[in-house]
């Protein structure tokens, strides 16, 4: 593969990144207090909140990783975006009023107020570990790998594929170039983050979000145009005879995206990520008002719903395009985006430079956000809390800058020495898996502490620790004792032994079947099938991490309740709940709970009718949309009535103006559209 960067591409690429870096340095030039450095002086407008939340979340992990999952698995990956809307709503109307009422810098401060210092330090350690090792390191990995693939020339080389793909060629990156780009990305991201703090991060996130959207939409449009349009992709997919990719729901025993897991465990993961994750919530904490924060969160949600169409569907379209135009080439999932760019983008117009700037900007926007948030935790939760309680603003900023340097070095070392730049695994799903070994207990501690007065300090800490222990224990126990150690490949043959007829070479068989005769293999599979439990048939031989999260959440909740009833209550700490701090009456919580239960039942009925073809996808999607919109419209009407009765300038506005400025109306449209998609793309 030759070099594809023309001089014009290089100019556009470097100008875009220099502009972003310059804006970041300029925006943060006067950060003199810790409030300025870590929360942008609590002056962020709604568009800054929206752009920064979107930019912090949507990295190259989404452009590259999600397109790769769309390519290999299909549209079911969209659950990562659709379910995110529920998490954003929990933040917007559940957790955020409490966080902002307490004027928090870090969410671990809330855990200390609600429980004690043990929970605070546990959260701080877990979140720094996740941000630096699980997210920043892989972010640098995917960025450096993508640059190598787009750059071409000496940065890559072709090799012969092995195993089942023998006879095809595969493109791999040159590790020396990869190491150099990891270091370069680390230096660029650290430079303006160290200097400017959160304000610099937010301003650069907004610009990088624009670059990312432009890059994603251009690639998607050119991909569909080359394939023949959306209709051509849907026709090709419909002709797959049971192997279609444009479905949201995959079997419950699917190895990666089972429908039972994405509607339960993944949804819980969204609640943690959007409601209790420092580097996401910190943007809303920096907003100049509650209303600006809510509007920014809702706007970020609308941006999130673009991703299934330009990234995931783009991956599905790439699958059919590559099969038609690159039949001799094996393309790994994380290389799909860059290989697609090289295939469809005309050279000499600077478009490759623009797209590359968008991808790299997306990486920087996530890495800089995590740097700043991890530094905030170190400065506020560790340095000020335990080392220097009387720390000045100057000292707080200095310790944050030192922390950023340390963290970026660690992340770069992880990307260079631990992560394989030529891995063939689905990168996006791997990161989600690793992160959620640590988070179920934290989610229970936040949620039950926020909405249940009886929770005690010891229960909060015990649950956080138990969640980590259970995550490894539940998975190991299921795989060994329930799954029997059966490999996924052998499991697939047990369910469909006819596949044996297509396997002729010894290396194609699972390890369990190697060295056996044909008769022995048949007998082995028959024995495994007769002994296989219903649980294994339904969930598979290895516990999918979405299902693991469900089990761990349940066990963690049991620990929380039991420990709460056998340990001492503290009435003072029980005041830090949603009803007390959020300004809500207890009956408000009951009404919301009943509305959620009614919605779940209604959605389940619609889903059942859709599954049995009693309702069409369009009709069931429309009914779900209307139900959702009505619920939010009622809440919006109540909010408007309170605004008018408050005697502020809202009392002088017209009814149309009041409805247009009511964030709950827009939240209803957002949630309604997400629900519509969940039924329409069944």
For 94-127, give the secondary structure using H, E and C: HHHHHHHHCCCCCHHHHHHHHCCHHHHHHHHHHH
- Provide CB contacts within 8 A for 596, sequence distance 6+: none
| CB proximity list for 455: less than 8 A, separation 6 or greater | 114, 115, 448, 449, 560, 564, 574
Please, which residues have CB within 8 angstroms of residue 433's CB and are 6 or more apart in sequence?
Answer: 545
Look at the block and give the residue holding tokens 């610099």.
200
Q: Is pLDDT of 681 > 50?
A: yes
**In this model, does residue 141 exceed pLDDT 90?**
no
Question: For residue 341, what pLDDT is reported?
Answer: 82
Query: Apex CA 608: angle with CA 606 and CA 613, to 5°?
Result: 95
On the question of pLDDT at 314 being above 80, the answer is yes
Residues 6 or more apart in contact with residue 266 via CB below 8 angstroms: 79, 80, 83, 546, 549
Q: What is the 3-state secondary structure (H, E, C) of 549-590?
A: HHHHHHHHHHHHHHHHHHCCCCCCHHHCCHHHHCCCCHHHHH
Any idea which residue has 């780009």 for tokens?
A: 181
**What pLDDT sits at residue 621?**
96
Torsion from C-alpha of 611, 615, 619, 621, nearest 10 degrees = -20
Between 6 and 77, name the one with better pLDDT: 77
What tens digit of pLDDT does each residue of 186-221 get?
A: 888 787 677 766 677 777 777 777 877 888 888 889
In this structure, what DSSP letter does residue 28 have?
T
The first and second tokens of residue 573, run together, are: 């700490």
Put residue 47 in one of left, alpha, beta given phi > 0 → left and psi -120 to 50 → alpha: alpha
Higher pLDDT, 37 or 96: 96
pLDDT of residue 608: 95
Q: Is the pLDDT of residue 519 over 50?
A: yes
Distance CA 493, CA 491 (A): 5
Instruction: Answer yes or no: is pLDDT of 81 > 80.
Output: yes
The answer to whether the CB of 87 falls within 8 A of the CB of 275 is yes
pLDDT given at position 5? 65
The mean predicted confidence, pLDDT, of the chain is 85
The mean pLDDT of 646-674, rounded to a whole number, is 84
Q: Residue 1 pLDDT > 60, yes or no?
A: no
Q: Which of 94-103, 150-159, 242-251 has the lowest mean pLDDT?
A: 150-159
**In this prediction, what percent of the chain has a pLDDT beyond 70?**
91
Burial class (CB in 10 A: 0-12, 13-18, 19+), 482: middle
d(CA 24, CA 45): 17
Give me the pLDDT at residue 43, please: 79
DSSP 8-state code for residue 91: I
Contact indicator for 174, 155 with CB cutoff of 8 Å: yes
Distance CA 194, CA 37 (A): 10
Q: Which residue has the tokens 């919580």?
A: 589
pLDDT of 164 strictly over 60: no
């Amino acid at each position: 593969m030759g070099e594809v960067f023309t001089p014009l591409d290089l100019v556009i690429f470097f100008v875009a990144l220099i502009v972003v870096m310059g804006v970041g340095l300029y925006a943060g030039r006067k950060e003199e207090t810790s409030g300025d450095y870590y929360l942008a002086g609590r002056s962020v407008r709604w568009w800054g909140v929206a752009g920064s939340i979107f930019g912090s979340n949507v990295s190259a992990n989404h452009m590259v990783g999600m397109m790769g999952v769309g390519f290999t698995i299909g549209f079911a990956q969209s659950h990562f975006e659709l379910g995110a809307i529920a998490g954003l709503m929990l933040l917007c109307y559940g957790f955020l009023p409490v966080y902002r009422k307490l004027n928090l810098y870090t969410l671990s401060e809330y855990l200390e107020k609600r429980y004690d210092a043990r929970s605070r330090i546990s959260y701080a350690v877990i979140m720094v570990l996740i941000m630096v090792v699980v997210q920043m390191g892989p972010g640098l990995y995917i960025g450096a790998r993508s640059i190598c693939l787009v750059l071409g020339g000496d940065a890559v080389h072709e090799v012969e594929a092995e195993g089942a793909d023998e006879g095809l060629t595969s493109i791999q990156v040159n590790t020396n170039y990869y190491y150099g780009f990891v270091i370069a990305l680390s230096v660029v991201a650290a430079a303006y983050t160290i200097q400017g703090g959160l304000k610099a991060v937010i301003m650069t996130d907004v610009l990088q979000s624009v670059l990312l959207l432009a890059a994603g939409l251009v690639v998607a449009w050119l991909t569909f145009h080359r394939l023949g349009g959306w209709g051509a992709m849907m026709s090709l997919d419909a002709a797959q005879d049971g192997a279609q990719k444009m479905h949201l729901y995959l079997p419950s025993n699917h190895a990666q995206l089972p429908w039972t897991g994405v509607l339960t465990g993944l949804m819980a993961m969204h609640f943690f990520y959007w409601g209790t994750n420092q580097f996401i919530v910190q943007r809303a904490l920096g907003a100049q008002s509650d209303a600006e924060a809510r509007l920014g969160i809702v706007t970020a949600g609308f941006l999130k719903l673009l991703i299934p169409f330009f990234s995931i569907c783009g991956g599905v379209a790439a699958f059919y395009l590559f099969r038609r135009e690159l039949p001799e080439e094996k393309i790994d999932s994380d290389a799909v985006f860059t290989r697609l760019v090289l295939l469809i983008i005309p050279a000499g117009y600077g478009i490759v430079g623009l797209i590359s700037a968008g991808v790299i900007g997306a990486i920087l926007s996530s890495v800089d956000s995590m740097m700043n948030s991890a530094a905030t935790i170190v400065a506020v939760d560790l340095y000020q809390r335990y080392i220097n309680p009387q720390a000045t603003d100057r000292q707080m900023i200095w310790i944050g800058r030192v922390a950023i340097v340390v963290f970026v070095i660690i992340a770069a070392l992880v990307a260079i020495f631990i992560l394989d730049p030529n891995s063939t695994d689905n990168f996006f799903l791997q990161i989600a898996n690793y992160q959620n070994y640590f988070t179920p207990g934290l989610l229970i501690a936040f949620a039950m502490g926020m909405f249940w007065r009886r929770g005690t300090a010891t229960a909060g800490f015990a649950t956080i620790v138990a969640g980590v222990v259970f995550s490894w224990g539940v998975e190991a126990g299921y795989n060994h004792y329930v799954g029997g150690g059966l490999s996924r490949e052998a499991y697939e043959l047990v369910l469909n032994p006819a596949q044996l007829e297509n396997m002729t070479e010894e290396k194609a068989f699972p390890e369990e079947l190697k060295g056996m005769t044909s008769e022995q293999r048949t007998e082995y599979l028959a024995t495994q099938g007769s002994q296989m439990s219903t649980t294994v048939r339904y969930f598979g031989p290895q516990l999918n991490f979405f299902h693991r999260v469900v089990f761990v959440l349940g066990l963690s909740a049991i620990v929380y309740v039991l420990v709460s009833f056998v340990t001492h209550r503290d009435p003072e700490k029980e005041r830090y709940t949603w009803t007390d701090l959020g300004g809500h009456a207890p009956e408000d919580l009951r009404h919301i709970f009943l509305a959620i239960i009614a919605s779940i039942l209604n959605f389940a009925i619609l889903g059942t009718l859709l599954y049995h073809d009693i309702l069409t996808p369009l009709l069931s999607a429309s009914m779900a949309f209307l139900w959702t919109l009505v619920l939010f419209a009622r809440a919006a009407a109540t909010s408007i009535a309170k605004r008018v009765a408050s005697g502020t300038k809202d009392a002088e506005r017209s009814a149309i103006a009041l409805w247009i400025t009511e964030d709950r109306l827009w939240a209803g449209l957002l949630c309604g559209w997400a629900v519509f998609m969940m039924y329409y793309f069944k």
